[in-house]
Amino acid sequence: MNDKEDQQKFLDFTRRKLDAGTDDLDADTREKLIQMRHRALESSLEGESSFPNWATLPIIAFVTAVIFIILIYVKPGPQTDNSPEDLEILLSNDPIEFYENLEVLQKWKDQKNANEKKNP
């Protein structure tokens, strides 16, 4: 019981002194109290934010879900050269082997023309 009474007496004494004001304090103590008050006010102002703390987790979850959906459903298509020749091949009724052979023949023809230009 003695500790509780001592604590209560100390709190009552402190409360009376603080209620009395700072007029009877010396200049050094008054200056230190003012500096401590300014630091406390500055630190309380720096910590304030208009953004609520509880909103960070739902926002992070939402952004993660959006990124996940984009990665899953938005897939880039194959990069193709949409030339009219390719469209013509796709629309024709000829088998693809015909065009593969045609490419080999075209390369052979180009080589033959190149050799004829070198050796006239």
52-100, pLDDT tens digit by residue?
Answer: 778 888 999 999 999 999 888 887 666 655 566 667 777 777 777 777 7
Percent helix, strand and coil across the chain, each rounded to 5? 75, 0, 25
CA distance 114 to 9: 111
Q: Is the pLDDT of residue 45 over 80?
A: no
Residue 116 one-letter amino acid: E
Largest Cα separation within the chain, whole Å, is 122
What are the residue boundaries of the structural domains of the chain, listed by start? 2-46, 84-118
**pTM here?**
0.29
Give pLDDT, residue 66: 94
Q: How many residues does the chain have?
A: 120
Pairwise CA distance, residues 56 & 8, whole Å: 42
pLDDT score at 10? 78
One-letter amino acid at 65 equals: A
